[in-house]
Amino acid sequence: MVELRNNKKIITAVSIIIVLLVAGTGFFVWKSKAQPKGYQAVFLSNGQVYFGKATDKDSKYVKMTNIYYLQLKQPLQSQNLDTLNQTDLALIKLGNELHGPTDRMEINRDHILFIEDLRPDSKVAQAIEKYSAK
């Protein structure tokens, strides 16, 4: 009888440990998917590219925060596209546009061509860090 109680206690303790391990692993997997470590470039089918933190990359709607995009500093009419260079582009923080968007997007996966992770030393990632530090 005593041996049976000890076995039940051992089984209960092992079951609790297994549940805690599974829950902990699930939490860390969820946390790593929810919080990207660096910045991503999201290329859309309409030619637009957004830079920021992309999450839920495998779902129907990819979520983005801390969003930036590139804009020409001067109109295209005065320039040939072949002579366009990096100094003609400005990195713009999403949020100051006329329609007043928030710094969050949900992008339909059907309109995304591909997503790239940016290196921390890329010019875009460095510009975002510099802007965020202000």
pLDDT tens-digit map of 77-131? 555 555 556 567 889 999 888 888 899 999 999 999 999 999 999 999 999 999 8
Tally the residues of the chain.
Answer: 134
Note whether 118 and 55 are same-domain residues.
yes
What's the number of domains the chain is made of? 2
pTM of this structure: 0.66
Q: Where are the beta strands (DSSP E) in 4-127?
A: 40-44, 49-55, 61-72, 89-93, 104-108, 112-117
44, 110 in Cβ contact below 8 A? no
Q: How confident is the model at residue 32 (pLDDT cuts 50, 70, 90)?
A: low
Note whether 128 and 92 are same-domain residues.
yes
Note whether 108 and 60 are same-domain residues.
yes
Note whether 78 and 30 are same-domain residues.
no
Q: What's 129's domain CATH number?
A: 2.30.30.100
Residue among 43, 131, 62 nearest 94 (CA): 131
39-56 pLDDT per residue, tens: 999 999 999 999 999 999
95, 102 in Cβ contact below 8 A? yes
